[in-house]
Structure 1
Amino acid sequence: MPAEDNPPAPPELLALAHAHGVDTSYDAGAGPVQVAPRTLTTVLAALGVDAGTPELAAAALERHRAEQAQRLLPPTVVAWQDRRTALDLPADAGVRVELEGGGSWELTHDHSWWLPEDVPLGRHVLHVTAGERAGRAALIVAPARIPEPRQRSWGFLAQLYSVLSDQSWGMGDLTDLADLAQWAGAELGAGFLQINPLHAGMPGVPSDPSPYRPSSRRFADPVHLRIEAIPEYTRHDGVRDLARRARLLREEVLEHDALIDRDSVRALKQQALELLHTVPRGVGRDAAYRAFVRREGEWLERYAVWNALAEVHGAAWHSWPKGLRHPSNPQVAAEKAALTDRVEFHRWQAWLVDEQLRAAQRAATDAGMPIGLIHDLAVGVHPDGADAWALQDVLATGISTGAPPDAFNAHGQDWGLPPWRPDTLAETGYGPFAELLRAAARHAGAIRIDHVMGLFRLWWVPVGARPTEGTYVRYDAEAMLAVLALEAHRAGTAVIGEDLGTVEPGVRERLAEHGVLGTSVLWFERDWHAGGAVLPPERWRAGCLATLTTHDLPSTAARLTGDHVALRHQLGLLARPLAEEQHAAATELADWQRELVRLGLLADGAPVTPEALHAYLRATPARLVGVWLPDTVGDPRPQNLPGTWDQYPNWRLPVADATGTPRTLDRIATAPGTAAIAATLTPLGAPPGVPSGVPSVAPAAGHADRRTPPGDPV
């Protein structure tokens, strides 16, 4: 931004921004950049602070300081298990802890105020009185470390929609997921299966195929259901007719080179579900459904109501009649009563998906997987979707998350996702965040958190502004990590953070301290302080999921042939001339070839193979090693090509072989490449350097060097 367009911010505005956790400058690798005053005022406005003039900023700063001085407690207090926690309170205060499970503790003053080490894990309430003042805060007591996998293992990374069988309806479904897990665990010895987010998508045609911009992160999408696996299926002849029509959708993809058509799949499955909803449930299934509704409570109710209202008024709730734009409005209750049947239908669909998710995780653990399913939690939600409507009081209005400009993307990124408001999130005791994590972990052995750096800070972009016109907003990382640790402990799940891209110094270390595994991609593991030399396997971090690629990166087959450069050239995405990019890709491949030869994993002069690269991953201390499922059959195509919208069929490709011929799950299971990679990785030994006493994940029962590679979390 030219200097004349970015005048210096007045000191009152800078001080106010810092007081609210809003950064006033950032460094994308080329030196510090000052954030424009208009960005600061817009971001502060989204936090409920009027700073439109220096006078208003000064008044707001004075009010903030006075309010902070008057408060006895912050909104949320964090304590770590087996550690004493100091409280900054007056000596004559009265302090009481209201325990989550009932009962309370009165604390006594002993020269200073301390929370004792034996406060039980949980979400409690801290009450304080001091003279005429009184205060309360959410008290989160969390374990110091998140459970980690008990043993070193490998597993597959898959986009579920892309893995079709001879029974699925045009895209992979939850029964395909169960079959994939059973085969990988029982036949190959895989320890886990990581899949894309299964979050509920936005209704409407055409729909957004990206699983990282959902309507709701709290509930999974009914489009993933296997209709024939619903017990009521056998009791309705009309649904069996629809199943025969679904065969045509499947054949279009598998035999006629069609893209995955979610909209057609969704429409057909919705017809089937409408029919099945008329079939009476037996008393046992009805009891299970009622128990699900009670467990999910208000979250489920709001989700179902939003879906029912969206059927009438369209998905963009910002344009609904004014009385329907907030879930607590009386008009919403009135319309809900008029839409009782539709609300019930959407509650019921959510239950069906939950049942099939539970069955898939059970299939994985029954097949011997020590972890089972790894569910992916997207970084945010669509601004017009169910969660944005239901949670609007804790989400920032008029703001989108993204990434600042850096060496890999000079224009920055805007993901179109409203961020948490750190202030209101803290006022709720982080309840919405905890509930989201609880749901993600319910039928998983681990969860992957997309853009895990968002626990510390997020790049906020005012809606309508360029991504370069944003700034970082800080979160209470201590509280976010405590909530994450508590929910992971209760669910018995490990946590993997997607920490690719711009990572602030100290963040990876802080995550590792609490047991959050990172993500390491082979092509990016370089010693950037030593000229970018290949990082030897013994210098990789142990606490990570190590892979060759991800859904946003080229497949291994494309890397080995250079096809990824040709594809980006074809679409006009190269930042340098084609010859330079091809030379850089060839140099990179030669570097890895020399390293593989040095380690005895490849014969001198032999071409690099997927098996040799996976053997290299096995030579690292990485706790988990992930295999991109399409690599087993040589698929050269990426599932998502960041920087494209309609130029490339993102999120719509079935797994295919090197010729582009789609391969069903049965064909993948018998592919020579699958057996070769599995043989390379089985068995993995115990991870080196694992500290003793580190908590580990029990088998689920249903449930150093700076590495800054390019990354696009959505």
Structure 2
Amino acid sequence: MEEQAVDQKSTFSVEELSQAHGVSSTRTDAHGNEHPLPQRAVVQVLRALGVDASTPERIEVESLALVDDEWRRMLPETLVLVSGHTYNLPVHVHHGETVVAWLDDDTGRHVQDLTQLDVYVTPRTVEGREVGRATFELPVNLRPGLYTIRARSESDQARCLLVVRPSSMPFSRSRGYGFAYLPHSLRSENSWGIGDFQDIADTAVLSALHSKTNFLRIGSVGIGQDSRCPESNRYIDPIYIRIEAIRESGYVTSADRSLIEWSYEPLELEEGAEAPRVIDRTTVWHAKLSALKIIFGVPKQYARQVSFQEFCESGGADLHEFAQWWLTQHPEATLEHSTESYRRVQITARDIEFAKWLQWVASQQLSGAHSEAQQGRSRGLVREMSVGIGVNSFDALALENAVIPHFGVVNWYEQFVSLESAFAPLHPTRHKRRIANHYIRMMKSLEGTCARVIFNHADLIFRQHWAPESGNVDDYVEVATDFDLILGVLAVMSGQTKIEILFDAAGLESWMFEELKSRGFGISVRWDIAGMQPPVHNIAGITDISVGDMYGAPLAGILSGEDIELRERLGVDDEHGYTGAARGIAQQRRDHVVAALAQQGRLSSQLTERELIEAIYASCAQSDAPSVSISLTDAVGERRAMSVSQADDQYPQYNLLVNDSSGSPITVENLFDSARARQLLSHIAALRESRGYNKREAAISF
């Protein structure tokens, strides 16, 4: 049997060369019309990818190199297959040499040797050497999972990451409803000035007990306070650790216990003082850090020591590198830290052990919160996080040259401010194994801490809009991603970790939406009332529905226009492009909601703000979405936005503690003293029950 290799043409234009490297030479406007990009912008991105398109001569050289690119590699870097399908794998070797190929699983265990097919392909001369192609058949009976294809010839060897994704996702779309909130914002009397992991567990248990909720949805607990773009999604911020819940805290000496109590003193309220409404993260962190350093010095019992060692071994080099990076970002966490000299302190092996210990404790407490939350018919925690990678994050650093320097990625609704606030641009055609490993590690880090994860900024999986350091809008360039690889890895890891994956629909184009649905991923939709968007209740295939805008502004603030007034006071542009008086816009929003609800037959008279919010959630509860996420801030009547885009230090971003409609602090202890919250949840529960959505038999694990 003979197969002829298909020759591509020898030279490309700039547009064709850029397309071959995943770089678009056009921009699509809001109406679907394509417009050519300035050639300088395209050439600039190609240069960043190591492709010189500055002159016609260089374009020809790069084009010729691209023609033979596949033949330079013995194996492709990565390969994605659908389970149950076969594939003929090309392997490139020095012409005339023999080659063998085999398959290992993700533990390194040999699975089977691959069979070479009798397929002749004409050899090709590449950079002065004659290269032949052998063809091997991949078996059709491979189960979904991660594998390594290995090949060896007389003079070369190579490996390829093989992702065998399921033809469909194995999860049922379980039904229910639950609170959604940012973990820092709801504290208890026993937490140190900020919501922590024990508060998460208690909130989940109390919600299920009082209101029969089925899950608790929490925002990011990654490194750093910016939940939109954290310093790491794969590691946990130790500021959420509950000090007293660490087992070793019960074995400190009396002298050390006094020191821990002194550490807490800056957070204590003076008699008669009002409870704080804003978190002082610096004071909270330094107080907790002092206590954590003391507890770290307490010897661990044998079982705990073994557990810690296993955690470190499992984390391997990546955990070690993270610990070193984290200590450089937080030199105050070195054990020999002093106020005057900590920036000059050398990081020691003991410091690195301390940083690893913090991750171990945080991971244990978050897993414990999820376990405690899985009571009755509650399925535990739902975690929400960005699928994007911050430019200056540890995750970007670990990706090494898979991240392109001097560019930032902006998603569909944001303006470029600076590289520091942008997402990291990923190489569209190279270093795919590193990119795949990032998502593998991210999913492994979630294992045992949640039943479901909702990824925001899902459009970044399909394409990225690269912005140069200048921030010139005319130079934004759309760059493709290998979404088949990323989604394949996520599908496999979803099965391995037993975590259901949903993607937030914001920013997804119809083809992206359909691509995700066809693969069995869940879709989370948000009724954006601030943007006066139409209801999303009847979108086919949605898994979860919520209400609000992209920045966590509560409905009370949106319907009153307080979010617009706030942005005007801060001097930042309105993300919706509104102009005019806030009160007039608020009335437009209210009219929009009332009209939408009236079409559904849900309004019979003029409603108060509280009744209107309840009607909005009631309409969601009677939609076809299997699950409904209820913002905790809406339930208690909070009016302040948790964050304001582009406001930076002008606003206490992600540092507000939840208040009720009168401005009084809401805590874990008094959450269900709120008649407003009880009434809303009771109404939602009755509506879901009437539709059969909360029956015990429907409460299947995610």
TM-score range, shorter chain: 0.7 to 0.9
Instruction: Indicate the SS of the match to 2:323.
Output: helix
Residue 228 of structure 1: aligned partner: 244
Does structure 1 residue 510 correspond to structure 2 residue 528? no
Q: CA deviation at 1:130?
A: 9.5
Cα 1:467–1:672 shift into 2, 3 Å: farther
Aligned mate of 1:246, from 264, 267, 272: 264
Aligned mate of 2:166, from 125, 143, 160: 143
Q: CA deviation at 1:21?
A: 0.6
- Encode CA deviations 1:392-412: one digit per residue, 9 max, x unaligned: 2322222211136xxx76778
Cα 1:140–1:260 shift into 2, 3 Å: same
Matches within 5 A, 1:296-695: 296-310=315-329, 339-370=348-379, 372-403=380-411, 415-428=421-434, 430-501=436-507, 503-523=508-528, 534-535=534-535, 537=537, 539-549=538-548, 552-572=551-571, 573-574=573-574, 575-579=577-581, 582-607=583-608, 608-682=611-685, 684=688
Q: CA deviation at 1:129?
A: 7.6
Distance 1:397 1:313 in 2: 29
Q: CA deviation at 1:284?
A: 1.2
Q: CA deviation at 1:636?
A: 0.8
Q: CA deviation at 1:434?
A: 1.2
Aligned mate of 1:173, from 169, 182, 196: 196
Matches within 5 A, 1:179-328: 179-201=202-224, 209-236=225-252, 237=254, 238-239=256-257, 241-243=259-261, 246=264, 248-249=266-267, 251=269, 255-310=274-329
More displaced, 239-248 or 264-273? 239-248
Q: CA deviation at 1:663?
A: 1.2
Instruction: Indicate the SS of the match to 2:374.
Output: helix
Instruction: Indicate the SS of the match to 2:464.
Output: strand
Q: Is the 8 A contact 1:304 1:343 kept in 2?
A: yes
Please, what TM-score do these two structures have when normalized by structure 1? 0.82
Cα 1:275–1:416 shift into 2, 3 Å: same
Q: CA deviation at 1:19?
A: 1.2
Cα 1:84–1:664 shift into 2, 3 Å: same
Q: CA deviation at 1:570?
A: 3.2
Q: CA deviation at 1:247?
A: 5.9
Cα 1:688–1:396 shift into 2, 3 Å: farther
Q: Structure 1: which amino acid aligns with 2:661?
A: A
Q: Is the 8 A contact 2:246 2:361 kept in 1?
A: yes
Residue 318 of structure 1: aligned partner: none
Distance 2:259 2:483 in 1: 53
Q: Is the 8 A contact 2:144 2:492 kept in 1?
A: yes
Residue 153 of structure 1: aligned partner: 176
Q: Is the 8 A contact 1:124 1:139 kept in 2?
A: yes
Q: CA deviation at 1:198?
A: 0.8
Please, what TM-score do these two structures have when normalized by structure 2? 0.83
Instruction: Indicate the SS of the match to 1:63.
Output: helix
Distance 1:686 1:81 in 2: 40
- Encode CA deviations 1:123-166: one digit per residue, 9 max, x unaligned: 11234689999764221111123343552111111100000111
Q: Is the 8 A contact 1:457 1:473 kept in 2?
A: yes
Distance 1:257 1:228 in 2: 22
Distance 2:44 2:190 in 1: 51
- Encode CA deviations 1:90-140: one digit per residue, 9 max, x unaligned: 9x9965433444331423649997544311222112346899997642211
Distance 2:146 2:690 in 1: 35
Distance 2:59 2:166 in 1: 40
Cα 1:308–1:593 shift into 2, 3 Å: closer
Q: Structure 2: which amino acid aligns with 1:231?
A: R
Q: Structure 1: which amino acid aligns with 2:247?
A: P
Cα 1:297–1:129 shift into 2, 3 Å: closer
Q: Is the 8 A contact 1:147 1:492 kept in 2?
A: no
Q: Is the 8 A contact 1:293 1:347 kept in 2?
A: yes
Distance 2:386 2:433 in 1: 23
Cα 1:352–1:591 shift into 2, 3 Å: same
Cα 1:642–1:468 shift into 2, 3 Å: farther
Q: Structure 2: which amino acid aligns with 1:636?
A: R
Cα 1:534–1:212 shift into 2, 3 Å: closer
Q: CA deviation at 1:521?
A: 1.7
Q: CA deviation at 1:652?
A: 1.2
Distance 2:699 2:70 in 1: 41
- Encode CA deviations 1:322-372: one digit per residue, 9 max, x unaligned: xxxxxxxxxxxxx99x711111111111111011011001011135312x1
Distance 2:384 2:391 in 1: 20
Q: CA deviation at 1:293?
A: 0.8
Aligned length: 646
Cα 1:577–1:211 shift into 2, 3 Å: closer
Q: Structure 2: which amino acid aligns with 1:559?
A: I
Cα 1:687–1:422 shift into 2, 3 Å: farther
Q: Structure 2: which amino acid aligns with 1:515?
A: G
- Encode CA deviations 1:15-69: one digit per residue, 9 max, x unaligned: 2211111111111315433333333233223323333444333322221222224
Cα 1:308–1:585 shift into 2, 3 Å: closer
Q: Structure 1: which amino acid aligns with 2:397?
A: W
Instruction: Indicate the SS of the match to 1:212.
Output: coil
Unpaired runs of at least 5, structure 1: 1-9, 202-208, 316-334, 527-531, 690-695, 701-714
Instruction: Indicate the SS of the match to 1:417.
Output: coil
Q: CA deviation at 1:308?
A: 3.5
Give the structure with higher Rg (CA): 2
Cα 1:647–1:441 shift into 2, 3 Å: same
Residue 4 of structure 2: aligned partner: none
Instruction: Indicate the SS of the match to 1:461.
Output: strand
Cα 1:312–1:222 shift into 2, 3 Å: closer
Q: CA deviation at 1:472?
A: 1.6
Distance 1:382 1:476 in 2: 19
Q: Is the 8 A contact 2:196 2:242 kept in 1?
A: yes
Matches within 5 A, 1:36-51: 36-51=38-53
RCO comparison, higher one (Cα < 8 Å, 6+): 1
- Encode CA deviations 1:629-668: one digit per residue, 9 max, x unaligned: 1111100111111132233222111111113222112222
Q: Structure 2: which amino acid aligns with 1:155?
A: G
- Superposition CA RMSD, Å: 3.5
Q: CA deviation at 1:199?
A: 0.9
- Encode CA deviations 1:457-502: one digit per residue, 9 max, x unaligned: 111122333355221211111111110000011111111212213x
Q: Structure 2: which amino acid aligns with 1:664?
A: T
Cα 1:409–1:245 shift into 2, 3 Å: closer
Distance 1:418 1:430 in 2: 15
Q: Is the 8 A contact 1:83 1:117 kept in 2?
A: yes
Cα 1:41–1:697 shift into 2, 3 Å: farther
